[in-house]
């Protein structure tokens, strides 16, 4: 038998497909703990992908967070296609090695808005609880790369108790978002303890779990975990879940099984996707994703504009892309399948919603509002109520625009109707 030379190893002998088969058969696939133990690290990526030069540079020189993926999420990726959307979220690329001038570690100023370690208080009635620094998969677009996969950011029990004390002492807080890292990477007893503490605070009425495990490690959503969540999902505390599916390839039967378990525990599930260059930055891809999400019984919540985090230039898209995507989706899927396009403002300004300009303005002489139909592109008139005190509030439509659209407009009368005619 030929001996292996110094520079030869398993990766030289096995194809990525063969290496994947060996990995997948080496443990019980449905055991989430084994999935985590078998996570693929940066040094393992050459075994499972035919890497491009850009990916090799990205792995060696990334300024982002650590590399890691579960075998399950790896199985959704293509070992040979560098344009595979899942692969782009797993494997660093050359763009990750650049710290661009517009980028910063904490663009949302979460640390400045942190009264105690692990807690961000940006909105008066809400706080974000950073429960855990670990994730099942370290997504390359992660907006908290400064904290995730960094052991110095570990939240000990004493740290969490200080967070609970702060929440107890601030009765205006009614909503706690548990994030991380991924809170569902904590043990069942730790999750039980956190939810129990929140449930005991009288003014906390809502708890939102921010987790990507239904996407990256759906077998983590066990019956035991759901029993714990359900036991705290009471008349005192309403528990929701927000996850992040970014591409239809992530909408698997395993993911649907995980979502159904959460729903049966009384937990409503919403999705917060991120527009990512070359992955989902077009209307048709986003439409297919959100149709799939409805099949999984997940309602659309947010579609984020990417954050200005280090090494993220390769993922960021023009602001207009998000507006175009929403415009494309409207009328092609039910409203509960259309997310709000939001920009989480740099500098801690919070979220603002953006969208196509369906409203053209107010025509004072006829007292009509003018809209553009998302479905047909036609113009439609809606009158302001009699004796309204808000007529000065609305932007006025120009005479030129009014003259241009008047003969092709529709009202409640199916044609122009009396108000439209009076405005000639």
Splitting the chain (424 residues) into consecutive groups of 10 residues, what average pLDDT does each group show?
39 84 98 98 97 96 90 98 98 92 89 95 97 94 85 91 98 97 96 98 98 98 98 98 98 98 98 97 98 98 92 93 97 97 90 94 95 92 94 94 89 61 41
Burial of 113 (0-12, 13-18, 19+ CB in 10 A): middle
| Tokens standing for residue 52 | 């491009």
Q: What are the Cα distances from residue 213, in Å, to 234, 245, 328, 345?
A: 23, 10, 29, 26
Give the per-residue pLDDT at 146: 82
Give the per-residue pLDDT at 414: 67
Was 84 annotated as part of a binding site?
A: no
3-state secondary structure the chain: CCCCCCCCCHHHHCCHHHHHHHHHCCCCCCCHHHHHHCCEEHHHHHHHCCCCHHHHHHHHHCCCCCCEECHHHHCCCCCCCCCCHHHHHHCCCHHHHCCCCCCCCCCCCCCCCCCECCEECCCCCEEEEECCCCCCCCCCCCCCCCCCCCHHHCCCHHHHHHHHHHHHCCCCCCEEEEECCCHHHCCHHHHHHHHHHHHCCCCCCEEEEECCHHHHCHHHCCHHHHHHHHHHCCCCCEEEEEECCCCHHHCCHHHHHHHHHHHHCCCEEEEEEECCCCCCCCHHHHHHHHHHHHHCCCEEEEEECCCCCCCCCCCCCCHHHHHHHHHHHECCECHHHCCEEEEEECCCCEEEEECCCCEEEEECCCCEEEEECCCCCCEEEEECCCCCCCCCCCCECCHHHHHHHHHHEECCCCCCHHHHHHCC
Give the per-residue pLDDT at 6: 41
> What are the chain's domains?
119-353 (3.20.20.70), 359-411 (no CATH)
Give the per-residue pLDDT at 311: 87
Give the separation between CA 204 and CA 194, rounded to whole angstroms: 13
Was 163 annotated as part of a binding site?
A: no
Which residues, at least 6 apart from 173, have a Cβ–Cβ distance to it below 8 Å? 121, 125, 126, 127, 167, 203, 204
Was 139 annotated as part of a binding site?
A: yes
Give the per-residue pLDDT at 407: 83
Mark residue 371 as left, alpha or beta (left: phi above 0; alpha: psi -120 to 50; beta: remaining): beta
Beta-carbon count within 10 A of 347 CB = 10
The pTM (predicted TM-score) of the whole model is 0.92
Give the per-residue pLDDT at 12: 55
Give the per-residue pLDDT at 420: 43
Give the separation between CA 68 and CA 42, rounded to whole angstroms: 7
């Amino acid at each position: 038998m030929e001996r292996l030379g110094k520079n030869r190893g398993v990766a030289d002998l096995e194809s990525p497909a063969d290496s994947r088969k060996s990995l997948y058969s080496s443990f019980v696939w449905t055991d989430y703990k084994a999935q985590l133990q078998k996570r693929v690290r940066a040094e393992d990526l050459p075994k499972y992908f035919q890497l491009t030069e850009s990916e090799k540079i990205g792995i060696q020189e990334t300024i982002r967070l650590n590399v890691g993926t579960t075998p399950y999420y790896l199985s959704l990726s293509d070992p040979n296609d560098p344009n595979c959307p899942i692969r782009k979220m797993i494997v660093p690329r050359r763009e990750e090695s650049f710290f661009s001038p517009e980028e910063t570690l904490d663009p949302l100023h979460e640390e400045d808005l942190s009264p105690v370690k692990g807690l961000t208080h940006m909105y008066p009635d809400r706080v974000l609880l950073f429960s855990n620094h670990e994730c099942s998969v370290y997504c390359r677009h992660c907006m908290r790369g400064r904290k995730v996969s960094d052991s110095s950011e570990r939240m000990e029990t004493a740290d969490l108790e200080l967070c609970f004390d702060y929440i107890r002492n601030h009765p205006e807080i009614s909503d706690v978002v548990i994030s991380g890292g991924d809170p569902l990477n904590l043990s069942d007893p730790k999750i039980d303890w956190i939810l129990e503490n929140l449930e005991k605070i009288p003014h906390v009425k809502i708890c939102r779990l921010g987790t990507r495990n239904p996407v990256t490690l759906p077998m983590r959503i066990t019956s035991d975990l759901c029993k714990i969540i359900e036991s705290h999902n009471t008349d005192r505390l309403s528990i929701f879940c927000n996850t992040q599916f970014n591409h239809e390839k992530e909408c698997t039967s395993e993911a649907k099984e995980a979502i159904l378990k959460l729903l049966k525990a009384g937990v409503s599930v919403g999705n917060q996707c991120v527009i990512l260059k070359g992955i989902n930055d077009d209307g048709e891809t986003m439409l297919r994703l959100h149709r799939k999400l409805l099949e999984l019984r997940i309602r659309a919540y947010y579609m984020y504009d990417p954050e200005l985090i280090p090494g993220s230039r390769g993922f960021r898209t023009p602001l207009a892309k998000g507006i175009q995507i929403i415009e494309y989706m409207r009328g092609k899927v039910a409203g509960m399948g259309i997310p709000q396009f939001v920009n989480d403002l740099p500098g801690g300004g919070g979220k603002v919603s953006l969208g196509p300009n369906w409203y053209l303005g107010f025509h004072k002489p006829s007292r009509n509002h003018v809209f553009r139909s998302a479905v047909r592109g036609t113009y439609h008139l809606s009158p302001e109520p009699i004796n309204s005190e808000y007529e000065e509030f609305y932007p006025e439509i120009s005479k030129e625009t009014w003259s241009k659209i008047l003969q092709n407009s529709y009202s409640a009368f199916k044609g122009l109707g009396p108000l439209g005619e009076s405005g000639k």
